[in-house]
Every structure is written in structure tokens, then in C-alpha cells.
Amino acid sequence: MKLQPVPLQSVKLHDRYLSFLTELCGNSVIPYSIQRCDETGRIAAFKLDWKPGMPNQPHIFWDSDFAKVLEGMALDLIIHPSEERRKELEQYVDLVVSAQQPDGYLNTHFTVVEPAERWKHLFSHHELYCAGHLMEAAVAHFKATGSRKFLDCMARYADYIATVFGTEDGKLKGYPGHEEIELALCKLADATGNKKYSDLAKYFIDQRGQSPNYFEQEFERLHEPVRPNYAMELQAHKPVREQKKAVGHAVRAGYLYTGMAEIADRYNDDELLEACKMLYESITEHRMYVTGGIGSSIVGEKFTEDYDLPNAFSYAESCASIALCLFAQRMLNITGESKYAELIELEIYSGATAGIARTGTEFFYVNLLEKDKRPMSFGHLSSERQPWFDCSCCPTNYCRFLPQLSQFAFSCTADGLQVNIPVDATIELPLEGRTLKATITGNYPYAKNFRITIDDDCNDAEIALRVPSWLSNPIAWFNGKTVPIDGSGWLRYRRDWRKGDFLDISYELKPRLLFADPRVSDDAGKVALALGPVIYALESVDNGDDLSALVLPVDQVFSLVPAQGLPAGTIAIKGRGYREEAAIAGKLYAPARPKRTPCTITAIPYALWNNRGSASMRVWIRALY
């Protein structure tokens, strides 16, 4: 990997959005999630004292939920050191470690509920997935505290897993039904310095989709019917290097592709990297909502066909956007290509953060792009933010995703800093033998310029400042003199920096109108508004009900105004439009075109919808063009 995420402790965010979410995570999302994990038995499960007939039977995915909260606690502890929180974390870690079996195994469900079924249900039972999240938690705990107890525990678990799985005689030639452990094992390899763990990840990647299909053999052993399309649902329909289209369960796909990118990079596997690039293109050019949402079908929570992106029936799970963000982060750091930073930015300002309320205690599991008349209020399909879900993957994923926001915004090498998202921040980045200190200002993305200022001398360091492709008429400056912008997507300088040096990029701040490929049925004839990287939406709170009756002429100058009822600094886009009504009042269908009355149309950032009470919403607005 050419680039790495910056160390968490090297960046302090000062912007309005990322820093708000990071603080919200530590102050609300994590404490709230601990509380819910406690109430539902997810924590007590690690005591291993559940017996048949008792309530709160440990579920097959519970370990992963609490593991994500623990990972979040550890990451947050790096950002917000606190002796009290550290002690709390240690208690939980001790509890988890205590659940490890003599052979290294660690899974609450299979230890107390189905001890005879260990490794027999790879297709459906999330066993390796839970192991992966526990490994990620252990690595985060190690980084936060320096303590090896959790890390060593999970290394022992990984050692044991390596005795179970592999191509050697006597081992299971299986791989996870729900991918995740691949990327986790790579983190474990880095933290322990032991390559055997990434070798195990490589095995899981290489073995996936080989013939004969392991899952089919598993169905036979279990005397279960072979599910239709089972292999494609889980990205096991062919070896991963032959996969060209993103298919199946979107969260799993995102984690798998992230693991593939890790292995491609570590093992210099160009064929695998090529597959990653193809899959990335399949997603971003054919199967992704304009918000960054992926997995458009509730049936199987999966990718369907190119251009099948219904708005009022979108699935677009919050976890899937997080997974795609992880994949794009790996691709960005491997290739240095700015298009990956652009997707990360899209996810962070829209798709991957729309699922969390400004309170930090309500969530979207499913992210609609249009909410109109239809009541959708059952469980995780709700169009109102919900306090929790029985399947609580999304809330717990936020616990560990939000503390990492600065690591998406900034990458580094031994010799320099790459600014992927130029949000306001102070940076103190240790390079080889020297430290790069810098400050970014400009209230990005809501202003007309952003600047990185060097805060101390630093010799022979590279600074790469992203030049977003969506900037309108950008002009770059170095110490106040204009400098050329090439087509690379970066303003890149390597030099001996002196305190006070600065790079600026200024541009016109005006709303962008995005048109979808007309093959996207629900978007044809419509337009989406964006301001910089932020995708906007109409909400009934600002526009009245019946948003489908609104029409927006595309040839007009929009104005930017403060958004009402949303956090200070949130900008709304205002424009001229028309409201239609039926030609014949009371007739559902009439042989005459609707009447139009001029009106104002106001859009707010999509990620902030449903923070002002129940509302209709739509991202794609009927356009006159």
C-alpha cells in the first residue's frame, strides 16, 4: 500500500460535519449502544452462562454487534483519552477474553447454544464474521491502550481458525458466508507483525467460489435444499478474480472487496487488483444511488441489475455504504487515484451518514431516496429513524465508523500527507524523522476556497491536496501566487516547507445539477441537486406535502440560504419551481395536463432529512429541461 490512513491521534477535526459526528459518536452513539447491548443480553452473553429455557439466547450475530461497539470505544479513546472510559473498556475486554475456549475458539452462540454445530453452518451462521469483528476490536484496543491481552486472545483464535480452514488434507476448504474476517485478518497481521494472518485471509479470498462449491457441499451435509442463487448472493458463484459485476448481499460484497484490495496490495496481485477495479466500476457506474447507497433490493439486501435503482423502494443499507467507503479507502490508498476520494467524500456527506440522527440515538437501517404516501413503519424498513433494531448491525457499525472519519479524510506516507477531504482540521503528522504540522481552514465544503497552511518547518515532505472534480472554475495558489492545476485530481508538491507556507484552492460555490443515465427508470426526467459533494433532497417540512407535484426548471440561478431547523451553518438551496395540481379537481385521472403555479423550492442536505419530525422527502426532483 502506497498510502496509509493517518494515525487517529494526528488529526483534530474542526469542521462542522465530520467533527460533529465524531463527537456525537463518543458522547451519544457509543454510550447508547452499550446500553442497548446490555439491555438485550449482548454483553452478558460473553459470561457463557446461558442455558436452554433462559431468555436472551445468544444470537449468531450478537458477538459482532458488541465487537463493533468495543472497536468504537477503543477508537474513540484515542481521540478522547479518558481514564474512566478506558476502565470501562478494559472490563468489557476482560469479559470477552474470558469467553475464549481452551482451543482458542471464541463465539458465544456456538459455545452455549449449538456447541455441536461449530463450523457447520458457514453459509448462514456468521461465525467467521463475528470472529472478524472481534479481531478488529482487538486491534483497535491494542492501538488505544498498548495492552496485548485482547490482541493475543484474538491471535490465538486466528491460530485456531488456521488449523481448521485451508487447502491441506483434513482441513475444511470453506470460507465465510458473511465476509469480513479477510480484512480483519490483515489488520491482525499488521498489529502482530505476523504474516500468517494475512495468509489466512488470502486463503479465504482465493478459495471463495472455487469448484466444487463449498456451500453446496454444506447444504448436502445438512440435508438442506440448495437455495436458488445461493452462490451469487454471497459472491461465491465463481473465483473472485473472475468476478466482474458486483452481485449479492451488498454489505458482504463491500467487505469482501475491501479484503480483496488488502490482499492484492500485500501480495502484489495485479489480477486481484484488476478484479477490484472492475467491481468498483460495476458499482459506481451501474449499481449505486446518487447518494452512494448500494444494494437496491430488500430481497437478499442485494445488488440486482445495472440501473435498477428505485427511489421509493430503495434498500441502500447504512452498513453497505460504510462497507463501500472502506473499499474505496483501500483503493485510494493503493492507487492514489482521486476518484476514490471522491466516492469516500460522497459517502461521508451523504450515503454513509444519512443513517444516523443528529441525536445519535436514532438510526436508519434502510435509506430511502424518496418517501411519499406509503407508510413504511415496520422494523428496519421504517422511513422514520428508529431507536434500535433487533438486527443492530447499522447502529453498532456507526460506533466504529464515525471515529475513523479523519482517517478517510487524510492519508499519509512516511514522507507526506494526502488531503482527501480538505475539512477544517489541525494536523500533527509524524513522518520519518520529522513532523508535519499543518492547519486546514475554509469551512469546506460550504465556502468558496480552502487552504492548508504549514505550521512549522518541515523538510522534503510531500503534500497532496485534492482538487475535487466537481469544483467550478477552480484556481490554485501557492503562497498567494496562482499555480497550474493538472488533470490528476491533486495539487501535489514535494519541498522543504517553511512555517506559513500555504496552498489555496478557490472556486465558485454554486449548486450542481446531476442527471442520471436515463436508463435509471426512477430518475429519468429528474434532477438531483448537490452543493459540492453534498447531495441534497426536498423535504416536506420546507416545501409542503406532495413533493411529486413540484417541478424544477433547470435553467436558473439558485440561491444559498441558511437551512431552517437544522444545525447552524447548514446551507439550503433555494430555487424557483412550479407546483402542479390536477386539471379537474377530484379526478384521479384526467384527459388534460395539470395546472402549474409558481412556487419556491428548497432543498436540504439529504443526510439530514427526517431530523425535523416525520416528513416526505425526495432526492430526485422532476425537472423541466
**Contact mark string toward a second copy, 43..62, x via CB under 8 A:** --------------------
Shortest distance in whole angstroms from residue 360 CB to a second copy: 28
Min dist CB 605 to a second copy, Å, is: 17
Closest CA to 181 of 240, 127, 219: 127
Q: Is 393 a catalytic residue?
A: yes
- The one-letter code for the residue type at 483 is V
Nearer to a second copy by Cβ, of 149 and 576: the residue is 576
Candidates 30-38, 116-124, 297-305, 497-505: pick the segment binding a second copy (CB under 8 A).
297-305
Each residue of 199-232: b (16+ CB within 10 Å) or e?
bbbbbbbbbbbeeebbbbebbeeeeeeeeeebbb
Region for residue 479 given its phi and psi (left: phi exceeds 0; alpha: psi -120 to 50; beta: otherwise): left
Using the minimum distance from each CB to a second copy, give the nearer residue, 160 or 313. Answer: 313
CB-CB contact of 348 with 292 (8 Å): no
Partners of 370 in the beta sheet? 618
Q: How far is 342 from 350, CA to CA, in rounded Å?
A: 12
> Which residues have C-beta within 8 Å of that of residue 63, sequence separation ≥ 6?
45, 106, 107, 108, 109, 130, 133, 134
**Among 169-177, 198-206, 279-287, 487-495, which window interacts with a second copy (CB under 8 A)?**
279-287
Beta carbons within 10 angstroms of residue 581's beta carbon: 12
d(CA 387, CA 363): 6
Q: How far is the CB of 509 from a second copy (least distance, A)?
A: 15
**Quick check: 161 and 128 in contact, CB under 8 A?**
yes
* Active-site position among 393, 394, 399, 412: 393
CA distances from 509 to 208, 348, 576 (A): 47, 19, 19
**Cα dihedral 391, 393, 394, 398 sign:** positive
The answer to whether 283 touches 246, Cβ cutoff 8 Å, is yes
User: Minimum distance between the CB of residue 473 and a second copy, rounded to whole angstroms?
Assistant: 13
Question: Would you say 498 or 519 has its CB closer to a second copy?
Answer: 519
Q: Binding pattern to a second copy, positions 542-561, x when CB under 8 A?
A: ----xxxx-x--x-------
Closest approach of Cβ 545 to a second copy, in Å?
8
- Per CB under 8 A, the list member of 284, 382, 383, 570 interacting with a second copy is 284
- Binding to a second copy (CB under 8 A): which residues in 301-320? 304-308, 310, 312-313
Report which secondary-structure segment, H or E, holds 62: helix 62-79
Instruction: Name, in order, each residue with C-beta under 8 angstroms of 163's C-beta and a sequence gap of 6 or more.
Output: 171
For a second copy, the closer of residues 195 and 587 by Cβ is 587
Q: How does DSSP assign 116-178, residue by residue?
A: GGTTS-TTTS-HHHHHHHHHHHHHHHHHHH---HHHHHHHHHHHHHHHHBSSSTTSB----SS
285 binding a second copy? (CB under 8 A) = yes
Of 71, 218, 301, 345, the catalytic one is 301
Please identify, using beta-carbon distances, which residue of 425 and 607 lies nearer to a second copy: 607
Select from 8-16, 141-149, 299-307, 496-504 the region that touches a second copy (CB under 8 A): 299-307
Strands 502-508 and 434-441: unpaired
Residue of 124, 297, 453, 559 that binds a second copy (CB under 8 A): 297
> Closest distance between a second copy and the C-beta of residue 374, in Å?
5
CB of 45 to a second copy, least distance (A): 26
We find the least distance from the C-beta atom of residue 602 to a second copy, in angstroms, to be 18
Give min distance, CB of 145 to a second copy, in A: 43
Sites for a second copy among residues 375-434 (CB under 8 A):
375, 378
- Contact (CB, 8 A) for 439 and 427: yes
Planar angle of CA 400, 405, 410, nearest 5 degrees = 135
Q: Which is nearer to a second copy, 286 or 400 (CB)?
A: 286
Asked if residue 194 lies in contact with residue 143, where contact means CB atoms within 8 angstroms, the answer is no
User: Does residue 153 have an active-site annotation?
Assistant: no
* Binding pattern for the stretch 207-246 against a second copy, x by CB under 8 A and - elsewhere: ----------------------------------------
**Shortest separation between residue 497's beta carbon and a second copy, angstroms:** 35
Which residue stretch of 149-157, 417-425, 536-544, 616-624 sits at the interface with a second copy (rule: CB under 8 A)? Answer: 616-624
Nearer of residues 51 and 373 to a second copy, judged by Cβ: 373
Cis peptide before 212 (omega within 30 of 0): yes
Interaction mask 501-540, a second copy, x per CB under 8 A: -----------xxxxxxxxxxx-xx--x------------
Number of residues that bind a second copy (CB under 8 A): 59
Minimum distance of a second copy from residue 559's CB (angstroms): 19
> Within positions 576 to 605, which residues make up the interface with a second copy, using CB under 8 A?
580-583, 586-594
Contacts to a second copy from residues 459-488, by CB under 8 A:
470
Q: Decide whether 51 or 593 has the Cβ nearer to a second copy.
A: 593
Residue number with CB closer to a second copy (261 or 623): 623
Residue 174 backbone class (left: φ over 0; alpha: ψ -120 to 50; beta: rest): beta
CA distances from 369 to 15, 313, 350, 428 (A): 26, 8, 11, 39
Residue 290 touches a second copy, criterion: CB under 8 A: yes
Q: Is 347 in the site for a second copy (CB under 8 A)?
A: no
3-state DSSP assignment of residue 600? strand
Catalytic residues: 301, 393
Q: Which residues bind a second copy (CB under 8 A)?
A: 284-286, 288, 290, 297, 299, 304-308, 310, 312-313, 370, 372-375, 378, 470, 512-522, 524-525, 528, 546-549, 551, 554, 580-583, 586-594, 618, 622-623, 625
